[in-house]
Amino acid sequence: MMHVFRILFLVSLVITTFSACAKNNAWNGKYIYEASAGENVAKDEVVVEYTFKYSATQCEVQIEGYQVSEVIICNAHEANNNLEVTFKSYSNGSTKNAYDVEVYPVSSVLFTLTNKDSTTLTTWGELMPDGITEKSGKYFSKHK
């Protein structure tokens, strides 16, 4: 009897997880934003690339560049023309970064994407790149 309950629990968990992801196929894809924060003291360009991947089975934000390399596992919630991306964990399953610091509270909004007139607008939340002066604007662009 306990075995049946475990199977039912796992099936309901899988259904809930996949139904919460990628309800609207229009959001599926890879989005990229390249942030430039000028130069460091050695005159090297300071660039960080943010890659957001979203599908029925994936919600991930990869941050690569000047003094950073991390992957965030996220959740996304679709409503109207918005996709709200929230923090779940880092790729290793921890809620703490490589320096053992909890930068983002679990379920906190990292950013929200909005489709407006065939343009993807970003509203930054907890994840706001250095050098950003406008909280909302055209940052992420969709790539295939």
pLDDT tens for each residue of 73-99? 999 999 889 999 999 999 999 999 999
Residue 124: DSSP 8-state: E
The torsion angles phi and psi of 83, rounded to 5 degrees, stand at: -125, 110
Residue 57: DSSP 8-state: S
Strand order in the sheet with 82-90: 136-137, 119-124, 109-116, 82-90, 68-79, 59-65, 45-54, 29-39, 141-143
In the block, residue with structure tokens 């994840």: 127
pLDDT tens sequence across 119-142: 999 999 999 998 899 999 999 999
- DSSP SS3 for 97: coil
In whole angstroms, what is the distance from residue 33 CA to residue 50 CA? 5
What are the DSSP calls for 45-106, one per residue? EEEEEEEEEESSS-EEEEEEETTEEEEEEEEEEEETTEEEEEEEEETTS-SS-TTS---S-T
pLDDT averaged over the chain?
A: 86
Per-residue pLDDT band for 47 (boundaries 50, 70, 90) equals very high
In whole angstroms, what is the distance from residue 94 CA to residue 76 CA? 18
In the block, residue with structure tokens 């960080």: 48
